[in-house]
Amino acid sequence: MTPAGAPGGTTGRSRPPGGGDGAAGSDEVAPPPLSLFALESARARVEWLSLVVSQRLLDPPRGSGEPVLVLPGLLAGDEATEPLRRILGGLGHVAHGWGLGVNVGPTAHILDGLVARVLALSEAARAERHDGRVQLVGISLGGILARELARQVPDHVGRVVTIGSPFRIVDHRQSRLAGVFQSLSHLHVSRERFDIFRQDALPQHVPTTAVYSRSDGVVSWRACVEDPGTEAHESVEVHSSHTGMPYNPATVYVVADRLAGDPAHWQPFRAPTRLRHLYPAP
């Protein structure tokens, strides 16, 4: 989970994490190496600069006015998602902040507020002759909450894109910020209402894309990927830090590409030839 927030191959297509890296074992509940955690801030700055330099060269697909709700990561608010929302707005989407202040986790205020926010955006979209489905983009902890929204109001959600979101977390040790999250647990709803360790499968008709990085310095990448082979639910790997992932050029292209597609006619992500170098080979 981020204090503010990936499979392509040689073909740039989405792929499940496979091989020895995905085997069961102690590595699955280990946090990222401390060396990666220490480099988070420096790597994030490089990724931000890379986006500034390369943004015009990405040339991602454009949207057609669909509402997009962007959810921030742990201890972040709308100011942290503003750069990504600005980019999406420039590509023809109507990108919204969540308007719920700082993300302190699954409080009643946040869970109830998100449902109300999606329903309001959905109603407004229908009034403008869109289908009324809201696209959700969640950064780290925000992605876990976005998936919960898709479970609660599936008929109002078009698709979900998560960025470095540990929605498959099974142990606090998989996050370097577990202590921060636990320190806020007295604010959270009961585990009967929302249990971060027990995330049910999403409705099949809500496509999902999980962007992750094996060099994530905050959360274990194994907690950030979809079940392999699940139709309309994919994982796309990028080379990125955790904190800089929302501003990484490869991530930005994936998000824009996924949001521009029709959820009713889902196809797996495939990077264009000119950008395949941005996505790790199998």
Is residue 110 within 8 A of residue 104, CB to CB? The reply is: yes
Is residue 164 within 8 A of residue 191, CB to CB? The reply is: no
**Cα–Cα distance measured from residue 71 to residue 136, given in angstroms and rounded to the nearest whole number:** 8
Which one, of 272, 218, 282, 268, lies nearest residue 249 by Cα? 272
Which one, of 167, 162, 114, 105, lies nearest residue 139 by Cα? 162
Please give the model's pTM, rounded to 2 decimal places.
0.90
The one-digit pLDDT tens for each residue of the chain (282 residues) are: 544 443 333 334 454 444 444 434 567 788 999 999 999 999 999 999 999 999 889 999 999 898 999 999 999 999 999 999 999 999 999 999 999 999 999 999 999 999 999 999 999 988 877 688 999 999 999 999 999 999 999 999 999 999 999 999 999 999 999 999 999 999 999 999 999 998 888 888 899 999 999 999 999 999 999 988 788 999 999 999 999 999 999 999 999 999 998 888 899 999 999 999 999 986
Is residue 146 within 8 A of residue 138, CB to CB? The reply is: yes
Tokens at 236, concatenated: 């796309």
Is residue 123 within 8 A of residue 171, CB to CB? The reply is: no
- Amino acid identity of residue 92, one-letter, is G
Tokens at 196, concatenated: 């971060």
Alpha carbon separation from 44 to 30, 57, 63, 85, 265 (Å, rounded): 22, 20, 27, 18, 34
- pLDDT of 25: 55
Is residue 209 within 8 A of residue 258, CB to CB? The reply is: yes
Tokens at 19, concatenated: 């091989």
Q: What is the pLDDT of residues 103-162, one digit of tens each?
A: 999 999 999 999 999 999 999 988 877 688 999 999 999 999 999 999 999 999 999 999
**Cα–Cα distance measured from residue 67 to residue 125, given in angstroms and rounded to the nearest whole number:** 7
Domains of the chain and CATH, by start: 32-278 (3.40.50.1820)
Is residue 199 within 8 A of residue 223, CB to CB? The reply is: no
Alpha carbon separation from 105 to 25, 147, 183, 277 (Å, rounded): 28, 14, 11, 35
- pLDDT of 53: 93
